[in-house]
C-alpha cells in the first residue's frame, strides 16, 4: 500500500479511538489568533497533534497544536486548533494530512479560517472576508502519484467555495448586524510578508487578501469531495508603498485576529447548526 495512505489511516484510527468511533460532520481549521472558537465546543475531547502517529507539530505563532472534537451548534465537529504551514518546512503531504484524516473519519464539510493582509482598497483592519475563490502560488499539494481512493487525478476547482454556504453566511451576518466582505484569497508560501511591489502585482491580478495558508487544505478537501466554506480575518492592510516606520508584524496579526474571532466563531457556529 502507498505509505502516504497508511500514514493517514494510522492517524485516523488513533483519532477515531479517542473520540469513541464518532463521526464528525464538519471539520474546522482555526487560523492565527482565531483559536477561540475552540472554547465554544461542548464536551470537548482534546487530542494533541504530538500524540497522533505521523502528525507534525505546529510551530507557528498564535497556533496551538490540537484536534478538538465535540459539539458546536448541536453538531459533531472536529476542529484544528492550529494548522501546519508550508513555511514551517513540512512537505505538502504533512501540511494537508489532517484534512485527509478528517475525510476518513467521515467529515463532509470543512470550515477554514485565516489571518490575511488586505489588498482590496475598501477593506479595513478587523474586517471578515468570505473567501469566494483563491489563487494558488504555493506548490500544489496533489503533485505526485494520485491517491485514487480520495479523488480524481484532475479535480475541478470551479466551485471550490460552496455557494450555498456563502449565501447562508451572508444571511446570518445580516441578522447579526455584521458586514462581511467577499473576495479572492491569494496564497503564497511566506514566511516573508510581501514587498510593496509584490502587493501591487498580486492586487493587479485579482487578490483581495494575501496569506500563507488555507489553499493547500482547500485543494485537498475538494479533491476528496468535502464541501468548503472559508473566511479571512483582515489583520493588516498590505503596504503598496514603502512608508518609513510601517512594518508588518506577526504579533499585530494575532491581536487583530483575536478581536474578530468572536464574530467569526458565531458565524461558523450558526452555519454548522443549520447543516
Ligand atoms: N501577508 C501574508 N500573510 C498574512 C498577512 C499579510 O499581509 N497578514 C496575515 N497573514
Helix (H, G, I), strand (E, B) or coil at 215: helix
Pairing of strands 227-237, 209-211: unpaired
- Return the C-alpha cell found at 216: 493547500
Percent of the chain with pLDDT over 70: 95
Q: Give the residue-averaged pLDDT of 138-147.
A: 98
- 194 Cβ inside 6 Å of ligand 1: yes
Q: Which has the higher per-residue pLDDT, 267 or 256?
A: 267
Among 12-26, 31-45, 245-259, which range has the highest average pLDDT?
Answer: 12-26
Tens digit of pLDDT for each residue in 202-252?
Answer: 999 999 999 999 999 999 999 999 999 999 999 999 988 876 666 667 777
At 246 the pLDDT is: 63
State the average pLDDT over residues 188-212.
Answer: 97
The mean per-residue pLDDT over the stretch 177-199 comes to: 96
Residues 211 and 234: their CA atoms lie apart, in Å, by 10
Q: What is the mean pLDDT of the chain?
A: 93
Ligand 1 pocket mutation pick from 63, 211, 213, 259 by most atoms within 8 angstroms of CB: 211
Ligand 1 centroid, distance to 64 Cα (angstroms):
19
Instruction: Provide the pLDDT for residue 1.
Output: 73
CA 143, CA 92: separation in Å to the nearest integer? 9
Ligand 1, atom 9, lies closest to the CA of 116
pLDDT at residue 62 in the model: 58
C-alpha span between 105 and 140 (Å, rounded): 24
**Measuring from atom 10 of ligand 1, which residue has the nearest CA?**
116
* Residue 22 cell numbers, joined: 464518532
User: Is the pLDDT reported for residue 35 higher than 90?
Assistant: no
In the chain, the DSSP E strands lie at 26-30, 42-48, 66-72, 75-81, 109-118, 128-136, 181-187, 209-211, 227-237
Cell, residue 200: 501591487
Is there an atom of ligand 1 within 6 Å of 248 CB?
yes
Pocket perturbation via mutation, ligand 1, pick of 34, 202, 236 by most ligand atoms within 8 A of CB:
236
Residue 34 has pLDDT above 90, yes or no: no
CA atoms lying within 13 Å on the CB side of residue 138: 30
Q: Supply the pLDDT for residue 240.
A: 87
Q: Is the pLDDT of residue 159 over 90?
A: yes
The CB of 193 under 6 Å from ligand 1? The reply is: yes
Ligand 1 near 116 CB (within 6 A): yes
For residue 66 and ligand 1, the question of a CB distance below 6 A is answered with no
Amino acid at each position: 500500500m502507498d505509505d502516504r495512505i497508511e500514514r493517514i489511516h494510522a492517524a485516523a484510527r488513533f483519532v477515531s479511538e479517542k473520540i469513541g468511533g464518532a463521526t464528525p460532520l464538519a471539520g474546522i481549521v482555526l487560523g492565527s489568533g482565531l483559536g477561540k472558537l475552540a472554547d465554544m465546543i461542548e464536551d470537548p475531547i482534546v487530542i494533541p497533534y504530538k500524540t497522533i502517529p505521523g502528525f507534525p507539530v505546529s510551530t507557528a505563532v498564535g497556533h496551538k497544536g490540537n484536534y478538538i472534537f465535540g459539539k458546536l451548534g448541536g453538531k459533531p465537529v472536529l476542529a484544528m486548533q492550529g494548522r501546519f504551514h508550508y513555511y514551517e518546512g513540512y512537505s505538502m503531504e504533512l501540511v494537508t494530512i489532517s484534512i485527509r484524516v478528517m475525510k476518513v473519519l467521515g467529515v463532509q464539510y470543512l470550515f477554514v479560517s485565516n489571518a490575511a493582509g488586505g489588498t482590496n482598497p475598501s477593506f479595513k483592519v478587523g474586517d471578515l472576508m468570505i473567501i469566494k475563490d483563491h489563487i494558488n502560488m504555493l506548490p500544489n499539494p496533489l503533485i505526485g502519484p494520485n491517491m485514487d481512493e480520495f479523488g480524481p487525478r484532475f479535480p475541478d476547482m470551479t466551485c471550490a467555495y460552496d455557494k450555498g454556504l456563502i449565501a447562508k453566511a451572508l444571511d446570518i451576518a445580516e441578522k447579526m448586524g455584521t458586514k462581511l466582505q467577499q473576495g479572492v484569497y491569494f496564497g503564497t508560501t511566506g514566511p516573508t510578508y510581501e514587498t510593496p511591489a509584490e502587493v501591487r502585482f498580486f492586487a493587479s491580478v485579482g487578490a483581495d487578501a494575501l496569506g500563507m495558508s488555507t489553499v493547500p487544505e482547500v485543494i485537498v478537501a475538494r479533491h476528496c469531495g468535502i464541501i468548503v466554506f472559508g473566511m479571512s480575518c483582515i489583520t493588516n492592510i498590505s503596504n503598496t508603498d514603502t512608508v518609513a516606520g510601517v512594518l508588518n508584524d506577526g504579533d499585530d496579526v494575532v491581536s487583530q485576529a483575536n478581536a474578530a474571532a468572536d464574530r467569526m466563531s458565531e458565524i461558523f457556529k450558526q452555519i454548522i447548526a443549520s447543516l
